[in-house]
């Protein structure tokens, strides 16, 4: 994980700055659903605007050895750096709105047709301001940056009510080349139920690298743990033997020593149709 950037010095497009200035003086925007919006408000936070960051990135070329399991480190760095650029610009927009954090963050990738190996990395979420300071003094993380979280509004409410607060959306990536098998090895297992240790080892190693990097980011934030972890396998456009393994989750820390977990209540929907 790189050092924390000075968000006040992050260059944002003029139109984005105008939109943010207009939002501060008029109305907020949000991609939260109605239920999420109301629960975020009940948790003690006010949405102040939809914030986003974008980076159109050229992903370079790296060739793996045909018969060797190996990380494609140049591609790993490219995927990580592109996401960091998008995240930082989203955080800079939140900073411009005076936000304490960003909830409901989505990270998306879209490969473009107007250029080989060009992809747009997008980070988008709703910036929020805490109505009151927490017992720990501030909602921001230990880097004095707005916290980020990919939790839904419902999960965010539950987290705050139970005495925890997000610290940051943490991630780890590993682009890995899975070795090809020779013709004789492939023919030797034809028609058999048998494990392929070469493939098992490759997938295991790649996921471990991604998980370890995600955990390292959480440790830098002095987090107690990571919730909502997703382990994704993203082939993109590199062919069947090269895949990005991506780990992402929300790092959290306690607000207080006691954690009161509310007992779930029975809820009956008031809608037409059969009950299941």
Q: Which domains does the chain have, with CATH numbers?
A: 26-183+195-254 (3.30.110.70)
Please determine, for residue 214, whether its predicted confidence score (pLDDT) is greater than 90: yes
* Distance from chain centroid for Cα 73: 20
With residue 75 as reference, give the H or E element that holds it: helix 73-96
| pTM, full prediction | 0.84
pLDDT, position 228: 94
Q: What share of the chain is helix, strand, coil (3-state, %, to 5)?
A: 30, 30, 40
> Which position has the higher pLDDT, 47 or 117?
47
Please tell me the distance from the alpha carbon of residue 241 to that of residue 222, in angstroms, as a whole number.
36
pLDDT, one tens digit per residue, over 170-212 is 999 999 888 766 566 566 666 677 667 777 888 889 999 999 9
pLDDT, position 64: 65
Please tell me the distance from the alpha carbon of residue 216 to that of residue 92, in angstroms, as a whole number.
23
pLDDT, one tens digit per residue, over 216-271 is 999 999 999 999 999 998 887 766 678 889 999 999 999 888 777 777 777 777 77
- Taking residue 159's Cβ as centre, other Cβ atoms within 10 Å add up to 20
Q: Please check whether residue 69 is in contact with residue 205, taking contact to mean a CB–CB distance below 8 angstroms.
A: yes
Residue 23 binned pLDDT confidence (cut-offs 50, 70, 90): low
Please determine, for residue 27, whether its predicted confidence score (pLDDT) is greater than 90: no
pLDDT, one tens digit per residue, over 52-108 is 999 998 876 666 665 678 888 888 998 999 999 999 999 999 999 999 999 999 999
């Amino acid at each position: 994980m790189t050092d924390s950037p000075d968000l006040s010095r992050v260059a944002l497009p003029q139109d984005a700055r105008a939109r943010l200035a207009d939002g501060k003086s008029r109305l907020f925007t949000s991609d939260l659903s109605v239920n999420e919006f109301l629960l975020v408000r009940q948790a003690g936070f006010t949405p102040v605007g939809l914030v986003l960051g974008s980076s159109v990135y050229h992903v370079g070329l790296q060739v793996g050895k045909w018969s060797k399991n190996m990380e494609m480190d140049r591609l790993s760095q490219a995927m990580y750096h592109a996401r960091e650029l998008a995240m930082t610009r989203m955080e800079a927009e939140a900073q411009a709105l005076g936000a304490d954090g960003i909830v409901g963050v989505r990270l998306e990738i879209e490969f473009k047709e107007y250029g080989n190996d060009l992809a747009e990395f997008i980070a988008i979420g709703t910036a929020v301001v805490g109505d009151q300071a927490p017992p720990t003094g501030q909602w921001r993380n230990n880097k004095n940056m707005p916290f980020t979280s990919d939790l839904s509004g419902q999960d965010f409410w539950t987290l705050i009510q139970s005495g925890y607060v997000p610290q940051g959306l943490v991630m780890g990536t590993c682009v890995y080349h899975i070795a090809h098998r020779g013709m004789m090895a492939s023919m030797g297992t034809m028609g058999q139920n048998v494990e392929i240790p070469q493939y098992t080892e490759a997938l295991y190693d790649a996921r471990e690298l991604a998980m370890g990097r995600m955990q390292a980011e959480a440790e830098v934030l002095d987090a107690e743990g990571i919730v909502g972890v997703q382990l994704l396998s993203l082939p993109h456009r590199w062919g069947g033997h090269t895949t990005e393994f991506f780990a992402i989750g929300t790092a959290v820390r306690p607000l207080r020593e006691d954690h009161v977990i509310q007992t779930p209540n029975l809820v009956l929907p008031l809608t037409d149709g059969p009950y299941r």
